[in-house]
Amino acid sequence: MRARGVDDYLAIPVACHERLQASAAPSPERKVIRLKARELVNQAAIRGWDQRRMARACGVSEATISRALSGHAIRRVTLLRLVRALEDAPPIPQLQKLVEDAGWDNERPDA
């Protein structure tokens, strides 16, 4: 087995960086995703989150969360941040029960 030199270690990050750039190239079919706004509202409700709290948990702006909650498309990286934030903060059982009883899991109630 040959010993690795400095050039070997430098080549690894450069190759990874080039792959990442190639995979992040904009493509119309992969650029944005539209979420089910009702489900996102439901997920926020059962965690006791408002838009500001959800934005903080995801590390995105409140405007981005507002767009998602309104049914507008968001970037894939934002979707991944949302999923991670939702996984990190489990639903509050009492709120989950209240939301189910209110029927928010099927439709959004009138304000």
Residue with tokens 């990874």: 16
Say if strands 32-34 and 73-75 run parallel, antiparallel, or are unpaired: antiparallel
Residue 37 and residue 70 in contact, taking contact as beta carbons nearer than 8 Å: yes
pLDDT category at 30 given cuts 50, 70, 90 is low
Domain map of the chain by residue range? 27-102
Range name among 18-27, 45-54, 95-104 with the lowest pLDDT average: 18-27
Q: Which CATH architecture has domain 27-102?
A: Orthogonal Bundle (1.10)
**Residue 32 CB partners (closer than 8 Å, separation 6+):** 73, 74, 75, 76
pLDDT in tens, 39-95: 999 999 999 999 999 999 999 999 999 999 998 999 999 999 999 999 999 999 999
**Residue 78 CB partners (closer than 8 Å, separation 6+):** 58, 60, 64, 68
pLDDT of residue 101: 75
Q: For the whole model, what pTM was predicted?
A: 0.62
Q: Could you tell me where the DSSP H helices lie in the chain?
A: 6-23, 37-45, 51-58, 62-69, 76-88, 93-102
pLDDT in tens, 87-96: 999 999 999 9
Q: Rounded to the nearest 5°, which phi and psi values hold at 34?
A: -100, 125
